[in-house]
Protein backbone atom coordinates (compact mmCIF):
# COMPACT_ATOMS: atom_id res chain seq x y z
CA UNK A 1 0.00 0.00 0.00
CA UNK A 2 1.49 3.33 -1.02
CA UNK A 3 1.32 6.53 1.01
CA UNK A 4 -1.55 7.94 -1.03
CA UNK A 5 -3.67 4.79 -0.59
CA UNK A 6 -2.81 4.66 3.11
CA UNK A 7 -3.84 8.29 3.55
CA UNK A 8 -7.12 7.60 1.77
CA UNK A 9 -7.85 4.70 4.10
CA UNK A 10 -7.16 6.88 7.15
CA UNK A 11 -9.50 9.55 5.83
CA UNK A 12 -12.26 6.99 5.30
CA UNK A 13 -11.85 5.57 8.79
CA UNK A 14 -12.01 9.08 10.25
CA UNK A 15 -15.69 9.06 9.28
CA UNK A 16 -16.35 6.26 11.79
CA UNK A 17 -15.84 7.44 15.38
CA UNK A 18 -15.92 4.83 18.13
CA UNK A 19 -17.81 5.01 21.41
CA UNK A 20 -16.14 3.19 24.30
CA UNK A 21 -18.71 2.46 27.01
CA UNK A 22 -16.96 2.66 30.38
CA UNK A 23 -19.65 3.99 32.73
CA UNK A 24 -20.82 0.72 34.32
CA UNK A 25 -20.37 -0.12 37.98
CA UNK A 26 -18.95 -3.63 37.43
CA UNK A 27 -20.89 -5.06 40.37
CA UNK A 28 -20.24 -8.66 39.35
CA UNK A 29 -16.48 -8.08 39.52
CA UNK A 30 -16.59 -6.60 43.03
CA UNK A 31 -19.99 -6.33 44.73
CA UNK A 32 -18.44 -4.02 47.35
CA UNK A 33 -17.63 -1.48 44.67
CA UNK A 34 -14.08 -0.99 45.98
CA UNK A 35 -12.31 -2.34 42.88
CA UNK A 36 -12.94 -0.90 39.46
CA UNK A 37 -12.51 -3.75 36.99
CA UNK A 38 -11.54 -1.31 34.25
CA UNK A 39 -8.50 -0.25 36.26
CA UNK A 40 -7.26 -3.78 36.87
CA UNK A 41 -3.93 -4.64 35.29
CA UNK A 42 -3.77 -7.45 32.76
CA UNK A 43 -0.80 -9.85 32.46
CA UNK A 44 0.45 -7.56 29.68
CA UNK A 45 0.85 -4.76 32.23
CA UNK A 46 -1.94 -2.64 30.71
CA UNK A 47 -5.22 -1.82 32.40
CA UNK A 48 -8.42 -3.41 31.11
CA UNK A 49 -9.82 -0.12 29.80
CA UNK A 50 -6.43 0.94 28.45
CA UNK A 51 -6.14 -2.20 26.36
CA UNK A 52 -9.70 -1.83 25.08
CA UNK A 53 -9.03 1.77 24.08
CA UNK A 54 -5.73 1.02 22.38
CA UNK A 55 -7.34 -1.47 20.00
CA UNK A 56 -9.97 1.07 18.98
CA UNK A 57 -7.40 3.82 18.52
CA UNK A 58 -5.42 1.53 16.23
CA UNK A 59 -8.44 1.37 13.92
CA UNK A 60 -10.04 4.84 14.11
CA UNK A 61 -8.72 8.28 15.07
CA UNK A 62 -11.66 9.35 17.25
CA UNK A 63 -12.61 7.33 20.32
CA UNK A 64 -15.12 8.84 22.75
CA UNK A 65 -14.95 7.16 26.15
CA UNK A 66 -18.09 7.51 28.29
CA UNK A 67 -17.39 7.42 32.03
CA UNK A 68 -19.47 7.62 35.18
CA UNK A 69 -19.07 10.60 37.52
CA UNK A 70 -16.03 10.46 39.77
CA UNK A 71 -13.94 8.14 37.56
CA UNK A 72 -11.00 10.55 37.58
CA UNK A 73 -8.23 7.94 37.46
CA UNK A 74 -9.84 6.16 34.55
CA UNK A 75 -10.36 9.46 32.77
CA UNK A 76 -6.67 10.32 33.12
CA UNK A 77 -5.60 6.97 31.67
CA UNK A 78 -7.88 7.19 28.67
CA UNK A 79 -7.09 10.84 27.98
CA UNK A 80 -3.38 10.06 28.02
CA UNK A 81 -3.99 7.46 25.32
CA UNK A 82 -5.79 9.94 23.09
CA UNK A 83 -9.45 9.26 23.86
CA UNK A 84 -12.03 12.02 24.09
CA UNK A 85 -13.44 11.55 27.59
CA UNK A 86 -16.94 12.55 28.61
CA UNK A 87 -18.95 11.88 31.75
CA UNK A 88 -22.51 10.63 31.54
CA UNK A 89 -24.39 12.33 34.40
CA UNK A 90 -26.95 9.54 34.75
CA UNK A 91 -25.34 6.18 33.83
CA UNK A 92 -27.59 4.40 36.31
CA UNK A 93 -30.52 4.99 33.96
CA UNK A 94 -29.18 2.29 31.64
CA UNK A 95 -26.57 1.56 29.02
CA UNK A 96 -28.67 3.29 26.36
CA UNK A 97 -28.21 6.60 28.17
CA UNK A 98 -24.43 6.21 28.12
CA UNK A 99 -24.50 5.16 24.49
CA UNK A 100 -26.59 8.13 23.37
CA UNK A 101 -24.47 10.49 25.47
CA UNK A 102 -21.29 9.19 23.85
CA UNK A 103 -22.76 9.29 20.37
CA UNK A 104 -23.76 12.94 20.75
CA UNK A 105 -20.16 13.78 21.64
CA UNK A 106 -18.82 11.65 18.81
CA UNK A 107 -21.03 13.44 16.30
CA UNK A 108 -19.89 16.79 17.67
CA UNK A 109 -16.33 15.77 16.78
CA UNK A 110 -17.33 14.12 13.49
CA UNK A 111 -20.48 15.85 12.21
CA UNK A 112 -20.14 14.15 8.81
CA UNK A 113 -19.87 10.65 10.30
CA UNK A 114 -20.76 7.75 8.01
CA UNK A 115 -21.36 5.51 11.01
CA UNK A 116 -19.82 4.47 14.30
CA UNK A 117 -18.39 1.59 16.29
CA UNK A 118 -19.81 0.83 19.71
CA UNK A 119 -17.43 -1.03 22.01
CA UNK A 120 -17.30 -2.09 25.65
CA UNK A 121 -14.40 -1.06 27.86
CA UNK A 122 -14.28 -4.44 29.60
CA UNK A 123 -13.31 -6.34 26.42
CA UNK A 124 -9.52 -5.92 26.26
CA UNK A 125 -8.68 -8.95 24.14
CA UNK A 126 -10.11 -7.78 20.81
CA UNK A 127 -7.83 -7.89 17.80
CA UNK A 128 -7.47 -4.74 15.69
CA UNK A 129 -8.12 -6.84 12.58
CA UNK A 130 -11.65 -7.44 13.84
CA UNK A 131 -12.33 -3.73 14.02
CA UNK A 132 -10.92 -3.26 10.54
CA UNK A 133 -13.18 -6.02 9.24
CA UNK A 134 -16.25 -4.34 10.75
CA UNK A 135 -15.29 -1.00 9.22
CA UNK A 136 -14.78 -2.67 5.85
CA UNK A 137 -18.27 -4.16 6.08
CA UNK A 138 -19.75 -0.73 6.79
CA UNK A 139 -17.80 0.76 3.90
CA UNK A 140 -19.18 -2.02 1.66
CA UNK A 141 -22.75 -1.03 2.52
CA UNK A 142 -23.71 -2.89 5.69
CA UNK A 143 -26.19 -1.01 7.88
CA UNK A 144 -25.15 -2.99 10.97
CA UNK A 145 -22.01 -5.13 11.18
CA UNK A 146 -21.40 -7.59 14.01
CA UNK A 147 -18.46 -9.97 14.48
CA UNK A 148 -19.01 -13.73 14.71
CA UNK A 149 -16.55 -16.31 16.03
CA UNK A 150 -17.37 -20.00 15.65
CA UNK A 151 -21.05 -19.23 15.27
CA UNK A 152 -21.31 -16.86 18.25
CA UNK A 153 -21.99 -13.18 17.76
CA UNK A 154 -19.99 -10.77 19.91
CA UNK A 155 -18.85 -7.17 20.28
CA UNK A 156 -18.12 -4.48 19.19
CA UNK A 157 -20.81 -3.61 16.66
CA UNK A 158 -20.67 -1.17 13.78
CA UNK A 159 -23.62 1.00 12.71
CA UNK A 160 -24.03 3.01 9.52
CA UNK A 161 -25.29 6.58 9.55
CA UNK A 162 -28.77 5.24 8.78
CA UNK A 163 -29.12 4.05 12.37
CA UNK A 164 -27.47 6.94 14.22
CA UNK A 165 -30.77 8.82 14.84
CA UNK A 166 -32.29 5.65 16.31
CA UNK A 167 -29.28 5.08 18.55
CA UNK A 168 -29.70 8.58 19.95
CA UNK A 169 -33.29 7.75 20.95
CA UNK A 170 -32.61 4.45 22.75
CA UNK A 171 -33.61 4.07 26.39
CA UNK A 172 -33.13 1.50 29.14
CA UNK A 173 -30.39 -1.00 29.89
CA UNK A 174 -30.47 -2.99 26.65
CA UNK A 175 -28.21 -0.63 24.77
CA UNK A 176 -28.46 -1.27 21.06
CA UNK A 177 -29.83 -4.82 21.40
CA UNK A 178 -33.28 -3.76 20.26
CA UNK A 179 -31.83 -2.60 16.94
CA UNK A 180 -29.86 -5.81 16.55
CA UNK A 181 -33.07 -7.80 17.02
CA UNK A 182 -35.24 -5.66 14.76
CA UNK A 183 -32.87 -4.85 11.90
CA UNK A 184 -30.81 -6.75 9.36
CA UNK A 185 -27.31 -7.49 10.65
CA UNK A 186 -24.32 -8.31 8.48
CA UNK A 187 -22.35 -10.96 10.36
CA UNK A 188 -18.59 -10.74 9.86
CA UNK A 189 -16.73 -13.97 10.55
CA UNK A 190 -13.51 -13.28 12.46
CA UNK A 191 -10.75 -15.40 13.94
CA UNK A 192 -10.96 -13.57 17.24
CA UNK A 193 -12.20 -15.14 20.51
CA UNK A 194 -11.76 -11.70 22.06
CA UNK A 195 -15.18 -10.65 20.73
CA UNK A 196 -16.70 -12.99 23.32
CA UNK A 197 -14.30 -12.37 26.21
CA UNK A 198 -15.34 -9.64 28.62
CA UNK A 199 -14.10 -9.10 32.15
CA UNK A 200 -16.87 -10.01 34.58
CA UNK A 201 -14.93 -11.60 37.47
CA UNK A 202 -11.32 -11.51 38.71
CA UNK A 203 -10.76 -14.90 37.09
CA UNK A 204 -11.32 -13.32 33.66
CA UNK A 205 -8.18 -11.23 34.02
CA UNK A 206 -5.85 -14.17 33.38
Determine the Cα–Cα distance for residues 36 and 23; give it in Å rounded to an integer. 11
Is residue 4 one of the residues assigned to a domain? no
Q: Is 148 a residue whose pLDDT tops 90? A: yes
Question: Over the stretch 50-77, which tens digit does the pLDDT of each residue have?
Answer: 999 999 999 999 999 999 999 999 999 9
Residue 177: what pLDDT? Answer: 82
Q: Which domain holds residue 111?
A: 14-193
Q: What is the mean pLDDT of the chain?
A: 89
Q: Is 179 a residue whose pLDDT tops 80? A: yes
Q: Is 14 a residue whose pLDDT tops 80? A: yes
**What's the number of domains the chain is made of?**
1
Once rounded to an integer, what is the mean pLDDT over residues 79-84? 96
CATH number, position 144: 3.90.550.10
Q: Is 171 a residue whose pLDDT tops 90? A: no
Question: Over the stretch 18-33, which tens digit does the pLDDT of each residue have?
Answer: 999 999 866 677 666 6
Determine the Cα–Cα distance for residues 87 and 4; give it in Å rounded to an integer. 37
pTM: 0.91
Q: Is 116 a residue whose pLDDT tops 90? A: yes
Is residue 39 one of the residues assigned to a domain? yes
Q: Is 138 a residue whose pLDDT tops 50? A: yes
Residue 1: what pLDDT? Answer: 46
Q: Is 5 a residue whose pLDDT tops 50? A: no
Greater model confidence, 29 or 119: 119
Determine the Cα–Cα distance for residues 139 and 137; give it in Å rounded to an integer. 5
Is residue 199 one of the residues assigned to a domain? no
Residue 33: what pLDDT? Answer: 64
Is residue 173 one of the residues assigned to a domain? yes
Is residue 95 one of the residues assigned to a domain? yes
Helix 72-81 and helix 48-59, axial crossing angle in degrees, nearest 10: 30
Is residue 5 one of the residues assigned to a domain? no
Burial environment of residue 115 by CB neighbours within 10 A (0 to 12, 13 to 18, 19 or more):
buried
Is residue 145 one of the residues assigned to a domain? yes
DSSP assignment string, 99-150: HHHHHHHHHHH-TT-SEEEEEETT-TT--HHHHHHHHHHHHTT-SEEEEEET
Is residue 205 one of the residues assigned to a domain? no
Amino acid sequence: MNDRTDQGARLRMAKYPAILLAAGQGARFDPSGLQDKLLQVLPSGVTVAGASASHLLAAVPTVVAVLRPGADQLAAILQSQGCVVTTCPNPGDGMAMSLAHGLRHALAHTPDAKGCLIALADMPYLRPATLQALLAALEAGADIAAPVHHGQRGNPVGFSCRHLPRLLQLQGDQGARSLLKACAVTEVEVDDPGILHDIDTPADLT
